Homo-oligomer: A and B are copies of this chain.
Amino acid sequence: MAERIRATYWIETPYPIQVAAEVMAGEQSSGTFTRLAAETDELRLAHCARVESIVELDSTLEPSLPMRPLPASFGSKPVYRRARVELSWPIANMGPSLPNLLATVAGNLFELKEFSGLKLLDIQLTSEFAQAYRGPAFGIGGTRVLAGVNQGPLIGTIIKPSVGLSPAATAAMVKDLVAGGIDFIKDDELQANGPHNPLTARVDAVMQVINEHAERTGKKVMYAFNITDEIDEMQRHHDYVVSAGGTCVMATLNSVGLPGLAKLRQYSAVPIHGHRAGWGLYSRSPFIGFSYVAYQKLWRLAGVDHLHVNGLRNKFSEADDSVIVSAKTCQTPMFDAPHNGCTIMPVFSSAQSAEQVADTYAALGNTDLIYCCGGGIMAHPGGIQGGVSSLRQAWDATVQGIALETYAKEHPALADAIKAFRS
């Protein structure tokens, strides 16, 4: 038990940085405000969190988050210093348990009065965690096998309207999509098991289409059924999807929680597609929350196989460089050996079309991803088939180092896409 888990934070504080860092370490381990008799030197040595490093950054004259009034000793113009701080904890404190790790590295410390900003930037776990958890069962390779896509990205889409279609209407849309050559389809995160489109009826209708297409053509399109729900319902729905021949289930991670996801991983016979709805709560403020680098490690270890990362020039507030950092981190091994490093497939989506392909590939450097387009497929002048073809052509061109405009000369679907989507 000599290994320690580590966590890195961005902090902002009017207190001396060393003092503030010690408060974090104390509050999140054996420290108390008044030292108690039972808090022996031996106990502290064995259990106290340690401040491993401090890198001072810039400073500001206004607190970024509201604070209680400061003591008079701070004077009338306190300076709020920023720093990157690394803490470590002995694994003996929480054991290899993700829910309890969370209470340690992202618990009460967000509320500490000493801070006007605190963001969890990264986590380094120990081999005990790698042993205690299963990680992704399918990851990149397993997803490729099931989807029958040996190279290039999985070209995907999301059923729209997000919510309101009947099972039959969903299946009718799926019929057009599989006929158009798509690799991957997913439910929206708003579409789970609502009374107007129950999961089992949707599975029946959709899998009939997918299975028939697979029997006819040999290509089984991967459909991520949104089974997000309570613990037992998720398991029932998973079993239903698998018995109908489905090859993927989707869970909204912030809704099911880490234990819900780890439980799903225990029995899941298919890849788990992780949606990050609610992620803005962690990411929108620069002064409180998690980085995606820290966030996604927890879910990968718990067993997710695909994770949403938004897309370049998306319809949300996230900047492009942040999207690429997120995608790269999904593909970066967390551990040396087990679970293939827990590497997974990033899922690009939100306002994507052939237009973002070259930039995405240039930034990511590989095609181990799911590339989901809505309008980029549906609004293509050549219909779904034209849309899907344009995306494959864009990726083929890009991987071969050919400019889209050049490739488009002999590939009309791509030419149409450029014409339709270039603003």
Q: Is the CB of B259 within 8 A of A258?
A: no
Q: Is the CB of B263 within 8 A of A228?
A: no
Give chain B nearest CB distance to A51 CB in angstroms: 17
Of B29, B111, B256, B286, which contacts A280 at CB under 8 A? Answer: B111
Q: How far is the CA of A259 from the CA of B262 in the complex (A)?
A: 12
**Chain B neighbourhood of A36, CB < 8 A:** 160-161, 378
Of B1, B32, B228, which contacts A161 at CB under 8 A? Answer: B32
Known: A30-B163, A113-B317, A257-B258. A106 touches B281 (CB 8 A): yes
Q: Does A319 contact B (CB under 8 A)?
A: yes
Which residues of A from 177 to 196 have beta carbons under 8 Å from B? 189-190, 192-196
**Chain B neighbourhood of A163, CB < 8 A:** 29-30, 47, 93-94
Of B43, B104, B228, B379, which contacts A103 at CB under 8 A? Answer: B228
Across the interface, name the chain B residue whose C-beta is closest to A317. B113
| Chain A contact residues: helix, strand, loop or mixed | loop
Of B67, B194, B280, which contacts A317 at CB under 8 A? Answer: B67
Which residues of A from 398 to 415 have beta carbons under 8 Å from B? none
Q: Is the CB of B94 within 8 A of A190?
A: yes
Of B190, B257, B283, which contacts A257 at CB under 8 A? Answer: B257
Q: Does A102 contact B (CB under 8 A)?
A: yes
Please tell me the number of chain A residues within 8 Å of chain B, measured between CB atoms. Answer: 100
Q: How far is the CA of A252 from the CA of B257 in the complex (A)?
A: 12
Which residues of A from 243 to 272 have beta carbons under 8 Å from B? 252, 254-260, 262-263
Taken residue by residue from 145 to 171, chain A's Cβ proximity to chain B (1 for < 8 Å, 0 otherwise) reads as 000000000000000111111000100
Q: Is the CB of A315 within 8 A of B113?
A: yes
Q: How far is the CA of A315 from the CA of B113 in the complex (A)?
A: 7
Give chain B nearest CB distance to A290 CB in angstroms: 8
Of B113, B161, B165, B230, which contacts A99 at CB under 8 A? Answer: B230
**Chain B neighbourhood of A165, CB < 8 A:** 38, 43
Query: Can you show 30 pairs from A to B with CB atoms below 8 A apart?
Result: A30-B163, A38-B169, A38-B173, A47-B164, A47-B196, A65-B284, A68-B317, A92-B195, A92-B196, A94-B192, A95-B193, A95-B194, A98-B230, A99-B255, A100-B190, A100-B194, A102-B255, A103-B190, A107-B189, A107-B277, A107-B278, A111-B317, A113-B315, A118-B280, A231-B260, A255-B259, A257-B260, A260-B260, A281-B290, A284-B288
In the complex, given contacts A30-B163, A285-B285, what are 5 additional A-B residue pairs having Cβ atoms less than 8 angstroms apart?
A94-B192, A99-B260, A118-B284, A231-B263, A259-B259
The 10 closest A-B pairs by CB, nearest first: A257-B257, A110-B280, A107-B277, A47-B164, A99-B255, A111-B280, A111-B316, A30-B161, A43-B164, A30-B164
